[in-house]
């Protein structure tokens, strides 16, 4: 799992933490908070430094309310905008103040989504109070209960705007299932075999027929 790391200059980090630049320099000299040192001599900080620094200040980390939105492809950018706007209006109607909006374009089967990873980094560092999503499958396609259990362990509430599946996401479900079939059929028969191609074709026809008949 690729981890996305945000890098802060000493000035940016001092504002984020609420201390002076000189305080950060003093902590560095005293060995309390050792930043990343560039060849130029400049100091750089990460969110991990932020957690350590907050402990030095005996300052509880701010807990945020975060909207998380996702679509599977660039063709759905308009849908992503609509999804975010709907979530914002949902929060306004319930008096929920949103601190940050995170969004990804990528498959729900892919847990390497940059903003999805950022969200869980924040959760694991105890900086999230609640996460608001449109549908469960906007979060993950499979294993939602597992991720929900992690959130509960860190006292994070997940609010799902719509509990029923939206018909517009059914084609995306077909694409995700076809991805799974492709991986397993390739392992069984080889990625270029006749049997693999036939299995994929039949599976796609069955899935699309099921959607049309509902």
Rounded (10°) CA dihedral 140, 143, 146, 148: 40
Catalytic residue list contains 185: no
**CA 110 to chain CA centroid, nearest Å:** 10
Q: Choosing from 72, 103, 107, 185, which is the catalytic residue?
A: 72
> Exposed/middle/buried for 93, CB within 10 Å: 0-12, 13-18, 19+?
exposed
Residue pair 65/98 in contact by the 8 Å Cβ criterion? yes
* Residue 65, CA distances (Å) to 97, 120, 160, 189 in order: 7, 13, 13, 47
Q: Give me the sign of the Cα torsion angle 201, 204, 207, 212.
A: negative
Q: Which residues are designated catalytic?
A: 72
């Amino acid at each position: 799992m690729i981890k996305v790391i945000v890098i802060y200059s000493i000035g940016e980090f001092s504002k984020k933490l609420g201390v002076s630049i000189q305080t950060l320099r003093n902590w560095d000299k005293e060995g309390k908070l050792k930043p990343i040192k560039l060849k130029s001599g400049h100091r750089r900080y990460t969110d991990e430094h932020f957690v350590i620094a907050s402990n030095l200040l005996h300052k509880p980390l701010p807990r945020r309310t975060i909207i998380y939105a996702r679509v599977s492809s660039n063709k759905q950018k308009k849908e992503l905008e609509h999804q975010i706007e709907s979530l914002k209006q949902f929060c306004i109607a319930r008096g929920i103040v949103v601190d940050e909006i995170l969004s990804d374009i990528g498959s729900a089967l892919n847990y390497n989504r940059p903003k999805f990873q950022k969200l869980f980094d924040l959760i694991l560092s105890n900086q999230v109070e609640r996460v608001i999503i449109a549908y469960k499958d906007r979060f993950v396609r499979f294993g939602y209960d597992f991720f929900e259990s992690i959130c509960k362990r860190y006292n994070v509430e997940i609010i799902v705007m719509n509990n029923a599946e939206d018909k517009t996401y059914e084609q995306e479900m077909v694409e995700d299932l076809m991805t799974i079939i492709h991986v397993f059929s390739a392992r069984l028969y080889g990625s270029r075999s006749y049997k693999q191609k036939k299995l994929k074709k039949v599976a796609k026809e069955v899935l699309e027929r099921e959607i049309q008949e509902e």
